Structure 1
Amino acid sequence: MTKMSKKKAAILQAATVLFANQGFADTSMQELSKVTGAAEGTIFYHFKNKEGLLLAILESTKNRLVEEFRNYMADREFKDGIEMMEDVVGFYLLLAGRMEYDFLLLHRLFLYHFAESRPEFRENLEDIYSCLVDFIELPILKGQEDGSIGDLNPRKTALIVFTMVDGLVRFKNFNLYDAGALYNELIESIRRMLQPIRGV
């Protein structure tokens, strides 16, 4: 990695933390410059403006999520789809802790205001959520092949599971509840929802 690319990565990381904690409007380029030690001109050189910086953060977040999940799942073997689902859910929660500010940023309302009027923001957010739901859909498809998961609509079911898991992440990020205390109940609820209906 070149010196300049390291600087760019440092700007992205610092901006993620500031936008996640303070919001978009309340974070100035001057403050970002002070935190990173990069001149404002350098920041504008890399990202053109504050909106461009936010878009770059979303693209970086998506790329990292995809890379993290692919690396984690590489060469792993699972007894069945249910076991794979438990593993994916556990890793999702682990990753949300490792990428705390990225997830906190994804839960900020200003992003969705941008998405209402700016197609590039909407596309980036849709890409991020689609890739997360994709990873949750994989165990459902596997489980339907091996019989451990019932005859459910895979995509809709993955969206429901995603909503449950991401809800716990929101609880944790906003300090509303100890998400870890609900982990076992979450897994049990997912198991019950996915299990095949016997005797039909």
Structure 2
Amino acid sequence: MTVRSENEVLTRTQKARQQDIIAAAIVVLDTDGFANASVERVAQEAGTSKGTVLYHFKSKEGVHEAVVRLLYDNGTAYMAERIRAEKSSRDRLRAYLGSNLRFIAENAAHVRAVHRILQNAGGRIEVADGVEPLRDLLATGQQRGEFGQFDPQVVALMTRALIDAASFHFTAHPDLDVEHYVAETIRFFEKATAKEES
């Protein structure tokens, strides 16, 4: 039997408490709105005290940053696993589009919470726009002869704009046929990136 140190147990306890607080903040932001997501309300939802929330996150803004960071970290991990499983650039583009849109649909409450934070943060919280890795994927596909001629920067920006808009549409329409949306999006970008017929 392995005996764990007190510090290791405390670290696990702290991580679990932080996860509980973040989960509570997501619920409060999603159901009560940004203006009502006070530290006291988050603590109540988490079944803890205001002091405990502030001990872990220092401020309401600290809680908000943790909520945003978790969504982006989870989304990156979810997508990367699926993209890496594919070999060709075209299949990786399909995986990129499909995994990003499905992640949004599967995490609607968290996405709505982040929307509310970012709309009210006044640019204080910086988030990656995701354009650079997508541009690189497209450029690699062109070098391999899998895609036609286009500006990969522009197409990457267009793709991100579509996905970002979808994040608002998906979360506002929970009964949306996600798989149909995914299939149509993939079909559109397959045509947009296809090699011209000679």
Instruction: Confirm or deny a common fold (TM above 0.5).
Output: yes
Name the Cα RMSD after superposition.
Answer: 2.3
Q: Where does 1:121-136 land on structure 2 (aligned, <5 Å)? A: 121=125, 123=126, 125=127, 127=128, 129-130=129-130, 133-136=131-134
Equivalent-residue separation in structure 2 for 1:93 and 1:41 (angstroms): 37
Equivalent-residue separation in structure 2 for 1:100 and 1:141 (angstroms): 31
Contact in 2 for aligned 1:171/1:177 (Cα 8 Å): no
| Structure-2 residue corresponding to 1:111 | 118
Q: Give the partner amino acid of 1:195.
A: A
Would you say 1:77 and 2:75 are equivalent positions? Answer: no
Q: Give the partner amino acid of 1:99.
A: N
Match of 2:68 among 48, 58, 75: 58
Would you say 1:102 and 2:101 are equivalent positions? Answer: no
| Structure-1 residue corresponding to 2:151 | 153
Unaligned segments of structure 2, at least 5 residues: 1-10
Distance 1:160 1:73, change over 3 A: same
Query: How far does residue 98 in structure 1 lie from its aligned partner after superposition?
Result: 3.0
How high is the sequence identity, in percent, across the aligned residues? Answer: 20
Query: How far does residue 140 in structure 1 lie from its aligned partner after superposition?
Result: 1.1
| Structure-2 residue corresponding to 1:35 | 45
SS at match of 2:165: helix
Equivalent-residue separation in structure 1 for 2:190 and 2:52 (angstroms): 50
CA deviations on 1:167-200 (whole Å, 9 max, x unpaired) are: 333222001872423333222211121112333x
Unaligned segments of structure 1, at least 5 residues: none
Q: More displaced, 188-197 or 94-103? A: 94-103
Equivalent-residue separation in structure 1 for 2:132 and 2:13 (angstroms): 35
Question: Which one has a bigger Cα radius of gyration?
Answer: 2
Q: Give the partner amino acid of 2:71.
A: T
CA deviations on 1:26-54 (whole Å, 9 max, x unpaired) are: 12222212211111100011112211211
Contact in 1 for aligned 2:26/2:110 (Cα 8 Å): yes
CA deviations on 1:72-128 (whole Å, 9 max, x unpaired) are: 334x232x32222112111112211333223223333x5234234x3xx1x2x2x2x
Equivalent-residue separation in structure 1 for 2:185 and 2:80 (angstroms): 24
| Structure-2 residue corresponding to 1:195 | 194
Aligned residues: 187
Would you say 1:163 and 2:161 are equivalent positions? Answer: yes
Q: Give the partner amino acid of 2:110.
A: D
